[in-house]
Structure 1
């Protein structure tokens, strides 16, 4: 085994890999850092699509050059060239797919009101580009596409049955997006109890960020079939209800005046409370041990209600103690009749 026949080609391939690695680490890293400083999102998409491509490209170039120094025979060289060409086509296809998906996502974010800002359309465009790339590879191999399409048509029914859940989620996601009943950033609650901010709607599932900072993954078919409360639809402002009970000895006019006064004080000072809506109360029940009523306050969005309730309960408890208004403990009076024999 001579130097030119094995060692030199190996060194050329290793050199190609090292050059690609250095290009990725030094030059491309500076390009990525520069992209983070610019306001144009397209620059970031381009750098993301080209990430890692230089290593493969320089390595493949090294292999091409090394083949010129190797005596493998015409047939073997032709097969290797064909394999390298296919790899190169697939690499370019993947880069173009990421590039297309990124620009589609940018457009959907900017075209608010026309297309919802989700990754759904970006993922679909990526699949289309990958499909086209595979068709190019098949054509390059000299295979006839027509019989394959016919075979796909015959096997389409079996494929549809096998991927029933996948297609169900995909079309459900498309329905959710086009109906515009839910979009990125909305705070929603499912009838099963899950709630949080909508982060993304993909071709398979919807991602929800709970207030506990946990991520909830819900299949799109469940989103389409369940009852959903959207707290950001039309408007974010909403009324918050808080139930309170006072003793039967209380002066109900005084209770109403004090409670509304505390509610106004809290909503005026607290960020997130909507002071444009006057707080009010409504008595609603003679309970076993208390007269119950509901306090209605307004917040700018759903998540702000927790802070409002927290501050209001503290202030109300303090004020009731000052005014001598009693919030009774649960009690029950039992009368026993003595029977004389």
Structure 2
């Protein structure tokens, strides 16, 4: 390393010893040659490095930063060439600020373009959820622009303090005016990282509304209900609410069919009948197996429950209808009674000696048969 540095210093001193125009031309020529070497060597390295990587993201990155890299080499070489002319320190400082400013603008445009290309690639190939890619793309662009502006101010020795103070005041005003939008923005990020739901999931909200997630944007989530209506809910509300995702971890969902049969019915016959209905239902899956449970002894009936599963939570309503219909038919076919709720009201023929009542208090007068 020390030998290399000594060689570089010796070469630089030799260039400075030449006439200015010769040194300038030599440096410019060396810069062009170096840029060409970077181009040829960079192409070879890019092909070799990207050949083993399956995705197209690496190709996009290398292809995007390759041209500005050539320009950077040329600009730096040109700056060194100008230094060899022996200009005044003030002029040299201005040239340096100009070259650095051009480099900052060049790389800011390159990085912004790179973020847009990478986000489009990720969206098209579904490596990342399409709804969250624009969020990170906008954050990336804002960071690149902010850093670039700060560097430009620093290169030209402009005090950024007044701009920062003004930006702080403007930021506070915008924050109060757009607090709901900002809350929705951060709510969408939180929902994404928590993995609460994704497009296509069937969810149930605290308000009782249920439906399939149709779209997730930076501001809100759109849900299609069972009535085929689109409900738009702000992400800030969903981020703070209790949400039931019926599509995870598995899409299979259980259907419960409550059945009441008369006292005196054969329990084995009831269970066999209900299981036969579940096994014959096309919407009910075989695994897990359907099952029957005697839940309680009701006032008028034995309370059974038929449990079976469907492939998708959207099918629960239709499966419930089909099973209820077939259970009713099956119980009638097997003469298993579904009792009505019964209440017995009796009237005494004799007045109670413990609580005698007069006819005027609303007790009907006894009539002899």
> Which band: TM-score by shorter chain?
0.5 to 0.7
Report what 1:8 is aligned to. none
Report what 1:189 is aligned to. 204
Report what 1:303 is aligned to. 314
Judge conservation of contact 1:181–1:233 (CA < 8 Å) in 2. no
Q: Distance in 2 between matches of 1:293 and 1:194?
A: 28
Q: Which of 327, 336, 339 is matched with 2:347 structurally? A: 336
Judge conservation of contact 2:205–2:243 (CA < 8 Å) in 1. yes
Change in 2 beyond 3 A, CA 1:335/1:102: farther
The TM-score normalised by the length of structure 1 is: 0.60
Q: Which of 114, 120, 137 is matched with 1:125 structurally? A: 137
1:156 aligns with 2:171: yes
Residue 331 (structure 1) shift: 2.4
1:326 aligns with 2:326: no
1:245 aligns with 2:256: no
Judge conservation of contact 2:257–2:324 (CA < 8 Å) in 1. no
Task: Render the CA deviation track for 1:261-317: whole Å, top value 9, x for unaligned.
Answer: 111111xxx1x4321221111111222221111110111110111222222122211
Report what 1:171 is aligned to. 186
Report what 2:55 is aligned to. none
Change in 2 beyond 3 A, CA 1:213/1:106: farther
Q: Distance in 2 between matches of 1:332 and 1:106?
A: 70
Q: Which of 201, 219, 223 is matched with 2:238 structurally? A: 223
2:191 partner SS: helix
Higher Cα Rg: structure 1 or 2?
A: 2
Q: Distance in 2 between matches of 1:101 and 1:316?
A: 58
Q: Which of 265, 269, 273 is matched with 1:258 structurally? A: 273
Report what 2:288 is aligned to. 277
Q: Distance in 2 between matches of 1:232 and 1:145?
A: 55
RMSD: 3.2
Judge conservation of contact 1:274–1:300 (CA < 8 Å) in 2. yes
Change in 2 beyond 3 A, CA 1:332/1:102: farther
Q: Which of 221, 226, 231 is matched with 1:211 structurally? A: 226
Judge conservation of contact 2:203–2:245 (CA < 8 Å) in 1. yes
Report what 1:50 is aligned to. none
1:242 partner SS: strand
Judge conservation of contact 1:283–1:293 (CA < 8 Å) in 2. yes
The TM-score normalised by the length of structure 2 is: 0.56
Task: Render the CA deviation track for 1:209-255: whole Å, top value 9, x for unaligned.
Answer: 11222111111111111111111111111211111111113222211
Judge conservation of contact 1:198–1:208 (CA < 8 Å) in 2. yes
Judge conservation of contact 1:101–1:126 (CA < 8 Å) in 2. no
Report what 1:59 is aligned to. none
Q: Distance in 2 between matches of 1:109 and 1:296?
A: 42
Mark the runs of 5 or more structure 1 residues left unpaired by the alignment.
1-92
Q: Distance in 2 between matches of 1:106 and 1:285?
A: 58
Q: Which of 304, 308, 311 is matched with 1:293 structurally? A: 304
Residue 167 (structure 1) shift: 1.1
Change in 2 beyond 3 A, CA 1:101/1:218: farther
Judge conservation of contact 1:285–1:291 (CA < 8 Å) in 2. yes
Judge conservation of contact 2:253–2:316 (CA < 8 Å) in 1. no
Change in 2 beyond 3 A, CA 1:257/1:273: closer
Mark the runs of 5 or more structure 2 residues left unpaired by the alignment.
1-108, 153-157, 357-369
